[in-house]
Amino acid sequence: MDIIAQYGHILLILTCCFGLFMAWGVGANDVANAMGTSVGSKAITVKQAILIAMIFEFAGAYLAGGEVTSTIRKGIIDPGILAGNPELLVYGMMSALLAAGTWLLIASMYGWPVSTTHSIVGAIVGFAAVGIGMDAVNWAKVGKIVASWVVSPVLAGTISFGLFMSVQRLILDTKDPFLNAKKYVPYYMFAVGFMIAMVTVLKGLKHVGIEFDFGFGSKFTNALPVATGVGVFVAIIGKYFLSKIKDDDVGPSENRFVNVEKLFAVLMVFTACAMAFAHGSNDVANAVGPIAAVVGVINSGGEVLSKSVMPPWILLLGGAGIVLGLATYGFKVMATIGKKITELTPSRGFAAELAAATTVVFASATGLPISTTHTLVGAVLGVGLARGIGALNLRVVGTIFMSWIITLPAGAGLAVLFFFFFKGVFS
């Protein structure tokens, strides 16, 4: 308690700095999960991707990023064990942020698309198990989180496989792909708008003081009319842009999909926005969750709270860090996801992005801290498998899997070192 009273302000400032560093790493590395497919399929440029992500990543982090933070913060460590030594939780969360941020910096320099969720969870488990004791870790919760890392790519891959197969059946394998694309793409646009609106309304926009209540009963039912309206609006806007694209004569039969892909390029602007929003809502937790834990301890005078209110300024800090990271260093990992796993066209990239965004939004709404990296890679693999396993670059896929395996021990090891350093300095 004396340490919290004496060094509380210093510890809080350091935690915010490390949290901003971690959020920068989330932007620099995980931006590929939101924008890599759009850029890789040439639907949008890198500059356009950064602009879209700056708006929607920040919006997702601030408007819908509060739900999953509690799972990262209080689900892994048992607060009761730390009741007599709250400073250990503060040291640990500082260490976890610095360790995860450091590893993400290293991975981003080499263009490795590693999991920010792996990084922060591994770091928290590492300092807690070694620095405090094995009993401090809620291993049952960790087991569920690890299971979600397997479920998320499988779920996203299944959805993307189904989406791309529907695109092939309804559009690409028909006699007039361009006409059918104009007919069916607005329905896909409706799905994108509906999905973003649904998660936003279900969260209640609580961080900006807006609540929806239509008196229909459950919160889910209340969200339906708003989400449906937004979906219809997005479809109408999309249909307007689609009407500007003409079915020009493209010559050889092998190029008959060129104009169809132009339609999907328009659609991918919408899916890019959806993926950025979904990514921001889910992955901001990796940076702001530990900050919230430290703020709770310091503001309560050393009491380790099982639950605390998420101050809006923490979400602002996390959103700003994500935007800064993607704008300054996101291009390297973006190239890996967008170009090296499989050849992407706008129609394939659309299926992967919408599937990944759907999975991430579902996880954010339910508080499940999945890995966006695993989700997006799973979705891209699903699209590739829809064309046959030969369409995948298995060497790149293997390298990505190896980087995932290294991430856990790297985050844990760095966190242990930083934990004992902070403990030695302040205690």
Tokens of 67: 């739900």
Nearest to 127 by CA among 293, 311, 323: 293
- For the record, the structure tokens of 155 come out as 């779920």
Q: In sequence order, what are the residues at sequence separation of 6 or more whose Cβ sits closer than 8 angstroms to the Cβ of residue 101?
A: 18, 21, 22, 24, 25
Q: How far apart (Å, rounded) are the C-alpha atoms in residues 199 and 220?
A: 10
> How high is the pLDDT of residue 70?
56
Burial 197-208 (b: 16+ CB within 10 A, else e): bbbbbbbbeebe
Question: Residues of the chain whose pLDDT is less than 50?
Answer: 71, 214-215, 253-254
- Rounded Cα gap, residues 126 and 105, in angstroms: 19
Q: What is the pTM of this model?
A: 0.81
Residue 417 and residue 412: Cα distance in Å, rounded?
9
The residue ranges of every structural domain in the chain are: 2-422
What is the torsional sign of CA 304, 308, 312, 314? Answer: positive
- Give the model's pLDDT for residue 364: 62
AA identity, residue 427:
S
Looking at the chain, the number of H-run helices and the number of E-run strands are 15, 0
Provide the pLDDT for residue 421: 94
pLDDT of residue 32: 67
Alpha-carbon distance of 119 to 414, in angstroms, equals 10
Burial of 186 (C-beta count, 10 Å sphere; 0-12/13-18/19+) = buried
Tell me, what's the pLDDT at 248?
Answer: 66
Task: List C-alpha distances in Å: 77 to 90, 92, 123, 132, 134.
Answer: 12, 10, 12, 10, 10
The CA angle 295-25-193, to the nearest 5 degrees, is 90
CA distance 69 to 67: 6
- pLDDT digits 0-9 by tens, 220-261: 556 778 888 989 998 998 888 888 877 765 555 445 577 788
Q: What is the pLDDT of residues 148-180, one digit of tens each?
A: 778 888 889 999 999 999 998 998 888 888 888
Helix (H) or strand (E) holding 33: helix 2-40
CA–CA distance, 196 with 358 (Å, rounded to integer)? 9
Res 217: pLDDT:
54
Predicted confidence at residue 16, as pLDDT, reads 94
